[in-house]
Every structure is written in C-alpha cells, then in structure tokens.
Amino acid sequence: MNNKPSKNKSRSKNTSTSKKGSSAGKAPASSKTQLGGLPLSARIAIGVIAVVMALSMMLPSLSAIFSGDSSSSDATTDQSSSTDTSSSSSTSTSDSSSSSTTSTVSTIDTKYSALVSALEAKIANDPENLATLLNLGRDYMQWGVQVVYNGTTDADTSHGNDLLNQAVSYFNQYLALNDSTSVKVDCALCQLYGGDTSGALASLKQITTDTPDYGPAWANLGLVYEMSGDTDSAISAYEKAQTTDANDEYGAKSYATQRIAAIKSSSTTSSSGSSTTSSSSTTTGLSDTLAGISDTSL
C-alpha cells in the first residue's frame, strides 16, 4: 500500500522527463527548418511585405501618371474656360465698340446742339445777321460731317444728312444777302458729304465757270472727279488749282499737288499688279469751314 504512491511519483517524473526530452529532441528539427527554408507563415508575411514595398515604390510613378491626367484635364478645362472667356471678350468688345460709337455720336450732338441753340436764339431776334447765319451754316456743316464720319447705323447717316441739309439752308440764307464763292463751295461739299456726288459735281462745275480764278473750287472739283474714278479730269482740275492759287494763299496748290501725287502713285501701284485702294476714300475736301476738324474723311 505504502509503496504504490512512490511508484506513481516515480512514473510521473519519468513521464515528465520523457516529455521534456521529446521537446528538446524537436528543437534541432526546428533549427534545421530555419536554415533550410522559412515556414509557410513567414513566407506569407514576407510576401505581403514585398507587395507592400513594391506598391510603395510604384506610388511616385502612379502619382505622376494620375497627376498628368489631372493636369491634362485641368488644361482642357482651362482651355474651355479660355474659349468661353475669349468668346465673351469678343462679344464684350463688339458691344463696347457699338456702345463707343453711340457714345461718340451722342457726345458730338451734345457739343454742337449747345452751339447752334445759342446762335439760333440770336438769329430769331435778327434774321439777317450775316455773321450769325454764316456761323450757323458752318456749325451745322461741321456737326453733320462729324456724325456722318463717326456714325455706323442708317439712323446716324440720316441724322448726319439732315444736319448737312440744315447747313445748306443757312448758307443759302447767307448767300441771299451776300454773295460768297467760299460759301458756295461749302454748300457743294455738304452735298458731297451727304452722298450726292453728282449734285456736288454740278455745283462745283458751275462755281469754276462763274469764278474761274478761285483755287479751292478747282481743288474740290478735282476731288469729286477723283472720287468718281475720272482721274484724267481730276488731274486737270488739280492743275487748275495749282495755277489759280500759285502762291498757295488758300492751300489749294499744296492740296492739289498732294492729290496728283497720290493718283500717280496709285496708278503706278495698280499697273504693277498689286491691289490698291483709292486714296481719295480717306481725303477731306478743301474747306476753311472744315479746316479745324481732325479725323474727318470721305
């Protein structure tokens, strides 16, 4: 009875010793596994790490690619935005130009309406005042020419022609009281600026017949011929202007000289085969009344 427990303890110790010995016996096998190859779990872990590292190395390239796509997209958006802005700018420029023209004509109207209103108040009290009639004619002529030149609409042209007709009306009132060749020339130029080229031509022919020694009449007759395309008659009239204003008292001689040179230059350019635009399209008629107006052209 007393010996059994002792045996059990001994057996238990042997068992424990056997287990420890077995565990110690597996240790070299584990050591051999580490030297010969990694366990599956370790291989999986390393594989995961390798994938992560590869992805991390690719990130800069991927970032650049996606960044490039984004930049391209942004560039497309910017280009589209730029196109819209350009279109808007073009529309704005067109509207601005139209508004500018309207503003210019309005400004001209404001300036001259104040001048003629004061003069018309004077002429109402003294209908035969020559100075007032002459100034009214000149102011309406300048006003009309400015509107015709700066206007862009049919309404502007009609408005300008009405003003030129009003100028002729005052000039005629003046001429009824006092004969003046220069005023007659201004009447003819009002016809010309109003678009009545044939009427202006007839008037100037009559003036040069009645007063053949008045240089400005010949100079303006030459201009009308030039505008009509009759360059031979234009040169002939300009030469008359040079002769009748030999001392350039009225500026007709220098004016005619310039126009003859322009015609000959245009003729030379045309004969060489190059396209040319008649320089008369930007030439102002010779008139003391219009002498102070800049930017005026036909």
- The domain spans of the chain are 102-282
Q: Does domain 102-282 sit in CATH 1.25.40.10? A: yes
pLDDT at 266: 83
Residue 13 pLDDT exceeds 90: no
pLDDT at 289: 75
pTM over 0.75: no
Measured distance CA(163)–CA(185) in Å, rounded = 17
pLDDT at 26: 40
Residue 65 pLDDT exceeds 50: no
Between 96 and 202, the higher pLDDT residue:
202
Q: Which of 83-92, 127-136, 172-181, 283-292 has the lowest mean pLDDT?
A: 83-92
Q: Which of 47-56, 73-82, 120-129, 261-270 has the lowest mean pLDDT?
A: 73-82
The number of angstroms, rounded, from the C-alpha of 219 to the middle of its chain's C-alpha atoms is 36
Task: Determine the average pLDDT of the residues in 68-92.
Answer: 42
Angle, alpha carbons 155-157-162 (nearest 5°): 95
Residues 231/263, Cβ–Cβ less than 8 Å? yes
Neighbouring CB atoms inside 10 A of 262's CB total 16
Residue 30 pLDDT exceeds 50: no
Measured distance CA(147)–CA(190) in Å, rounded = 13
Convert the pLDDT of each residue in 184-221 to its tens digit: 999 999 999 999 999 999 999 999 999 999 999 999 99
Alpha-carbon distance values, 137 to 76, 98, 174, 179 (Å): 62, 30, 9, 15
Convert the pLDDT of each residue in 140-192 to its tens digit: 999 999 999 999 999 999 999 999 999 999 999 999 999 999 999 999 999 99
Q: What percent of the chain has pLDDT over 90?
A: 54
Confidence label for 288 from pLDDT (cuts 50, 70 and 90): confident
pLDDT at 78: 45
Neighbouring CB atoms inside 10 A of 244's CB total 22
Q: Tokens for 80, please give them.
A: 């589209």
Residue 1 pLDDT exceeds 90: no
